[in-house]
Structure 1
Amino acid sequence: MTPQFDVLIVGAGLSGIGMACHLSKECPDKRVAILERRQAIGGTWDLFRYPGIRSDSDMITFGYSFRPWGEHKVLADGPAIRQYIEDTAREHGVDGLIRYGTKIVGASWSTEHRCWTVAAHDETTGKQLTFTCKQLVSCTGYYNHDQGFQPKFPGEEHYQGLLIHPQKWPEKLDYRGKHIVVIGSGATAVTLIPAMANQAGHITMLQRSPSYVMTVPGYDKPAAFLSYFLPRRWVYGIARWRNLRLQQLVYKAARRWPRQVRSWLLNNVQKQVGPDVDMQHFTPKYNPWDERLCAVPDGDLFRVIREGKASVVTDKIKTFKEKGVLLESGRFLEADIIITATGLQLQSLGGMVLTVDGHKVEPSKQLTYKGVLLEDIPNFSYLFGYTNAPWTLKVEMSADYLCRLWRHMDAVGSDVMTPRAPAGEKLEESVLGSLQSGYVQRGEHTLPRQGRSLPWRVLNNLKADRTMLLHDPVADAWLELRGPTPSRAVPLARRAA
């Protein structure tokens, strides 16, 4: 069986397009295709269409290093990010590689044929499709695109208003003058509220427990100033270096001195909400970076609260009523619209079912190798970004590593790579590590595991990952490489004891 493609990429979002762009530069001779279930480029940024959707990382570091973000707006909105990904694909000539409306059902590896066979179907015509490839790369993220997390609330069948999950936002929703309750306190909630507050009659954030909310500048004034005097590439380099250092400083300080960072964050909130707002609504019970910090540009959330256009209630829901929500405290929140910003549902590999020589593989039982490959699965990779820094930083390094690895395999006459972990390495800890967010606790059992030490441990450390992925040799004792025929077989590296 002759593979149709050398590399098959699943997903045309930020990760998939980034992977394809790296391939076009580093491995231009490879036959590549991108399978995308949706009818457009963008992934997450095409799926989510709720008001105010934006990045929660600055675009200087969230954007691709090979195509610098050209604006001085710090947090970009969803349409701008989607356009950025589309423009990148077009400029690097990978937009023509995409096959839209293609839902992957499963992928099976054959040792005999030394390739993957991918079963899919065209969601428009219903036609069954089959693809074969040497290397299969999943760029599907880690959550279910079909359905967000929608808890069942007591009495919700009696509610007569509109109940919406942000992942399924109605097109052209008219919420002018409406009373709105947003259930949740995470990144989606703190984005929705200031975006809707000016047109809503009133909007309330109803939270069971608070999250840390940090103000970031909406506009990069230092970079804008420097752009009058310095070349664009210099300004970009300076701003990117500065932002990366600041991100790492805040994260490391939060892990080392949690009480001091907590005090700093809460003091900043207090200054912006003013003396009339009870700080219990912004004082979490956990330490900073046990869950991701929520970023708001120029304190827009705090501004609409100060102006009385929005409010925050910390309580538990007793039951839904016909006209709103009754809380356990006895308070009633009137609501024409209730938005359940209750989070995501985790899912590995976009729901794709993997088999190796007829045996089903459970990703949640496999170790991750260098945060890119999966234990005992030949010629398969899974691009997974950072959780404590901009996602794209890790994805780009992973894509660069894969290109290095594939070039090395070509050079030594190998066509199959398989990570093999030593006995006793596996821990019952997912690749999301110590994050305690609700969506992580609910679904981490679906994600790959990590080990006790490198290369099986996910460090979420930019410096260490840069060394491991970009500079360390690609051949080591844990990566088994084999050639296509006995005469070209590459001797197995000795496994660690």
Structure 2
Amino acid sequence: MTDHVDVLIVGAGLSGIGAAYRLQTMSKGKTYAILESRAAAGGTWDLFRYPGIRSDSDMYTLSFPFKPWTHANAIADGEDIRRYIHDTAHENKIDQHIRFGHRVTRASWSSDDAQWTVDASTDDGPVTITASFLYLCSGYYNYDQGYTPEFPGLEDFEGEVVHPQFWTDDVDYEGKEVVVIGSGATAVTLIPSMAGSTKHVTMLQRSPTYITALPQGDPIAGFLRKILPGGIAHRLTRIKNAAIAIGFYVFSQRFPQQASKFLIGRARKSLPADFDPKHLTPTYNPWDQRLCIVPNGDLFRTLRSGKASIVTDRIARFTKTGIDLESGEHLDADLVVTATGLQVVAFGQIAVEVDGRKIDSHETYVYKGMMFSGIPNFAWCVGYTNASWTLRADLTSQYVCRLINHMDARGYAFGMPDPAGASGDAAPLLNLQSGYVQRVAGILPQQGSSSPWTIRQNWFLDAWDNRRADLDEAMVWTRQREVARAG
């Protein structure tokens, strides 16, 4: 069976629910559906269930601007975020448009018909849906497979190995020796959450990450909520927190040595004087990779207690009882948690075709951070790398709505960014040196060196430009009457 909607959204996480709200309020009358591969909304926050799962950004910027975050914690637990997403979808009747258990596998554009034909697999068999506009809100990592390096001797290990992306309730770490491999946001979350129940937990890192402590609550937000209406208090807190995050990012880019000294010094003050500083001293500049946040310094507190420790070394091989390191040290382990990263994918692993031509995502150029050269009526929601995902996601959804309204007003059937893309040197889509980004540099779209073919990591400038953007800039349009004539 085939049915048609004006806009088809893929993904029912923060991005997808936000996109649906903007469609309902900015492009009223447009029909839409949300295809979600899982059995529940929430995206990342429904998938990850490992101990201590929490936001790595403050919730005043990660939440929706149209639904104030009223919880006491600014750094929120996964369950609270998941409930917040569900409540937003229900209150706005967005959940009535979600089709669960629909995994999109292929999307084919026809210029003659001015529409997308989208194939999805379900438990009841294949489903086909057509849409005038396709909006991918499924993020950029593989939900079915995390990243785990090839570890020599792993088959000899007699303990249990689990990747945090596939954590289940039956993972037992009570009274056990646990080794968490990794030093990113997942690892620094897991360790303080598990340490109270384990015999000991060790964070084994190949190289350190910049880590800083922030209060789990936001006293200024609490004060503003007492004296101002909820919506105004939320907006002011959102602006404040965005300014702090983006301001420190800009400072780090311009003065990396000073930023590094500040972060390392701040972390060392939270640990005993005899703590080896090499475990806190990265080899890269701040914000070349994402900064890790620990609410109320819980990781540092756990390290001080002796319940956890950090080892900076490389794995030589796994043994029956644990891990041999290149330094000659051996780590005993009953459970190994491979917090080794995500598997990044382009376009949600959907096979995209335009008029019978298969699209190689790496050959396309990103346009205004959301559309791609030569692909009509198509957008992909990708958040910021230096700030909360939702800050960019909401700007993207607003732009998509304005673009759809613009097409209706001008009588356009479809439009695409110039197929020629950007001129000059190309750059990676994501501006991080993190392993999970570098591993897929050859499959992600590229960006150019000048507007509109670049992604700017600054919400304030993007928000200013977004409302004043030239919707015709570098776009190729086809009018409704031209499609009818071709038909």
Structure 1 length as normaliser, TM-score?
A: 0.95
**Structure 1 counterpart of 2:459:** 462
Deviations 1:252-283 (A, max 9, x none): 11001111111111111111012121111010
Query: 1:141 and 1:113 mapped to 2: Cα distance?
Result: 28
Q: How does 1:134-173 map to 2 (within 5 A)?
A: 134-173=132-171
SS at match of 2:108: strand
Distance 1:488 1:408, change over 3 A: farther
Q: Report deviation, 1:221.
A: 1.8
The amino acid that maps onto 1:432 is L
**Structure 1 counterpart of 2:268:** 270
Contact kept, 8 Å, 2:4 with 2:130, in 1: the verdict is yes
The amino acid that maps onto 1:65 is P
Contact kept, 8 Å, 1:51 with 1:196, in 2: the verdict is yes
Q: How does 1:371-390 map to 2 (within 5 A)?
A: 371-390=369-388
SS at match of 1:378: coil
SS at match of 1:190: helix
Q: How does 1:175-194 map to 2 (within 5 A)?
A: 175-194=173-192
Deviations 1:366-413 (A, max 9, x none): 001111111101111111111111110111011101111111111111
**Structure 1 counterpart of 2:257:** 259
Contact kept, 8 Å, 1:367 with 1:426, in 2: the verdict is no
Contact kept, 8 Å, 1:370 with 1:468, in 2: the verdict is no
Q: Report deviation, 1:172.
A: 3.0
Deviations 1:154-180 (A, max 9, x none): 111100000011111122322111110
**Structure 2 counterpart of 1:239:** 237
Query: 1:103 and 1:488 mapped to 2: Cα distance?
Result: 32
**Structure 1 counterpart of 2:481:** 485
Deviations 1:84-139 (A, max 9, x none): 111111111111101000111101111111111011110x23x1111001001111
**Structure 2 counterpart of 1:4:** 4
State, as a whole percentage, how many aligned pairs show the same letter: 46
Q: Report deviation, 1:426.
A: 5.6
**Structure 2 counterpart of 1:352:** 350
2:12 matches 1:15: no
Query: 1:368 and 1:413 mapped to 2: Cα distance?
Result: 25
SS at match of 1:305: helix
Query: 2:420 and 2:356 mapped to 1: Cα distance?
Result: 24
Deviations 1:310-331 (A, max 9, x none): 0000011111010111111111
The amino acid that maps onto 1:350 is G
Query: 1:406 and 1:294 mapped to 2: Cα distance?
Result: 38
Contact kept, 8 Å, 2:370 with 2:382, in 1: the verdict is yes
**Structure 2 counterpart of 1:441:** 438
Distance 1:15 1:413, change over 3 A: same
Distance 1:36 1:424, change over 3 A: closer
Distance 1:423 1:111, change over 3 A: closer
Structure 2 length as normaliser, TM-score?
A: 0.97
Query: 1:78 and 1:181 mapped to 2: Cα distance?
Result: 23
Query: 2:108 and 2:483 mapped to 1: Cα distance?
Result: 26
Deviates more, 1:251-260 or 1:219-228: 219-228
Q: How does 1:54-65 map to 2 (within 5 A)?
A: 54-65=54-65
2:112 matches 1:112: yes
Among 223, 226, 229, which residue is 2:227 paired with? 229
Specify every segment of 5 or more residues in structure 2 that has no aligned partner in the other structure, as ranges.
none
**Structure 2 counterpart of 1:494:** none
SS at match of 2:480: coil
Q: Report deviation, 1:488.
A: 8.7
Q: Report deviation, 1:422.
A: 5.0
Tell me how large the CA RMSD over aligned residues is.
Answer: 1.6
Specify every segment of 5 or more residues in structure 1 that has no aligned partner in the other structure, as ranges.
490-497
SS at match of 1:291: coil
